[in-house]
Structure 1
């Protein structure tokens, strides 16, 4: 379960102290802040909110060194392919490396009924800002359920 509030498809991987999330946020045009911003911009709230079709990566580590970046041009099919690749890696039960382009790489190894996962994030526009996050031991059943939920949200 994600502690970050995102409407739209979201794959959250991590613990309360460190996480990485791949999300396609959707702005709710009925929210008071959106209504005010739309009025100030002179457009309808629906036009201001837009289609919610820009993917983003958000992350945070145990030291609160986090951030995020948008992925212009990323599509649902690519997010689904990443999730499917991760599902296959988990099913194999062996240490794995799964990549989503050059902006997100997950390295994992089994540990009892969990997976110890390290995430490597690199904003496409600033490779120098790359970070490595130790996500901790993620319970295998929850991880697989989250992946399935994420993939259904894309359908």
Structure 2
């Protein structure tokens, strides 16, 4: 489901180039978290945070990436996005699914087994990141459907 260990719900769409909706949960007892907290000059608990804040991440094949927090996003909204994406995949038609004003996924059937995806990411006002359009390539429906099911279960 995820090229990174998020420790919380995470939905990655794409491979080398991807967008991800994540709610990281860091363990303050983890040695890496403790070291990072020490380097940041804060307690491990403060560094780990509350574990209930969603973020949108992106990465491109050339290594360019970024992300930003989505402080107003709730689990129910993330689940709704996943369910709408799941239903659209089964339609056999081109579609666009939005996750608020920050993410728009456009897909069209590419072959019998997958869809070609494009993601448009528009950071919220105040973020130090420009809007970006990513070609996520052709993704196999079966794999994405399995990831969506795993993601929805992780929210329960």
**What do residues 44-101 of structure 1 show as CA deviations (whole Å, max 9, x unaligned)?**
x445523201100110122322111110121101100100110110111110000000
**1:111, CA displacement in angstroms?**
1.4
* Equivalent-residue separation in structure 2 for 1:63 and 1:117 (angstroms): 18
Matches within 5 A, 1:72-83: 72-83=71-82
Query: In the alignment, what sits opposite 2:31?
Result: 32
Root-mean-square deviation (Å): 2.0
**Are positions 1:11 and 2:11 aligned together?**
yes
SS in 2 for 1:92: coil
* Equivalent-residue separation in structure 2 for 1:137 and 1:19 (angstroms): 12
Query: In the alignment, what sits opposite 2:139?
Result: 138
* Equivalent-residue separation in structure 2 for 1:51 and 1:59 (angstroms): 22
SS in 2 for 1:80: helix
* Equivalent-residue separation in structure 1 for 2:139 and 2:17 (angstroms): 11
**1:4, CA displacement in angstroms?**
2.3
* TM-score between the two structures when normalised by the length of structure 1: 0.89
SS in 2 for 1:81: helix
SS in 2 for 1:11: strand
Query: In the alignment, what sits opposite 1:122?
Result: 122
**1:32, CA displacement in angstroms?**
1.7
Structure 1 residues not aligned, in runs of 5+: none
* Equivalent-residue separation in structure 1 for 2:151 and 2:61 (angstroms): 25
* Equivalent-residue separation in structure 2 for 1:77 and 1:107 (angstroms): 22
Query: In the alignment, what sits opposite 2:94?
Result: 95
**1:31, CA displacement in angstroms?**
1.2
* TM-score between the two structures when normalised by the length of structure 2: 0.88
Name the count of aligned residue pairs. Answer: 152
Query: In the alignment, what sits opposite 1:108?
Result: 107
